[in-house]
């Protein structure tokens, strides 16, 4: 998914948040964007989902640098090192 228009970033007094500039680019004022993003994250984290909802499933794992399908997340050991 990508935005309909190009995006610019600004800070403090440079340009308003969610303003389209003269070239048709959508500006995100980073301080306001952060507040919006944090608020959205807090909303999702606080939301309750049914047990079988995908929001209750793991989305990503970040294993060690020697990851393979046999990696033990707790120890970081891979099956190739154990066997």
pTM: 0.55
Same domain (yes/no): 29, 62: no
Beta-strand relationship, 26-29 and 19-20: antiparallel
Same domain (yes/no): 41, 70: no
Domain that holds residue 14: 1-47
Same domain (yes/no): 34, 10: yes
Same domain (yes/no): 20, 60: no
Q: SS3 letters for the chain? A: CCCCCCEEEECCCCCCCCEECCCCCEEEEHHHHHHHHHHHHHHHHHCCCCCCCHHHCCCCCCCCCCCCCCCCCCCCCCHHHHC
Task: Please provide residue 16's backbone torsions phi and psi, each rounded to the nearest 5 degrees.
Answer: -65, 165
Tens place of pLDDT for every residue, the chain, 83 residues?
A: 666 779 999 998 888 999 998 898 999 999 999 999 999 999 988 999 898 888 888 777 766 665 556 555 555 555 554 44
């Amino acid at each position: 998914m990508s935005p309909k228009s190009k995006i610019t970033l600004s800070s403090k007094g440079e340009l308003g948040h969610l303003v389209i500039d003269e070239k048709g680019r959508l500006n995100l004022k980073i301080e306001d964007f952060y507040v919006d993003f944090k608020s959205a994250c807090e909303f999702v984290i606080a939301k309750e989902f049914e047990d079988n909802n995908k929001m209750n499933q793991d989305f990503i794992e970040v294993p060690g640098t020697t990851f393979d399908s046999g990696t033990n997340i707790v120890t970081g050991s891979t099956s190739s090192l154990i066997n």
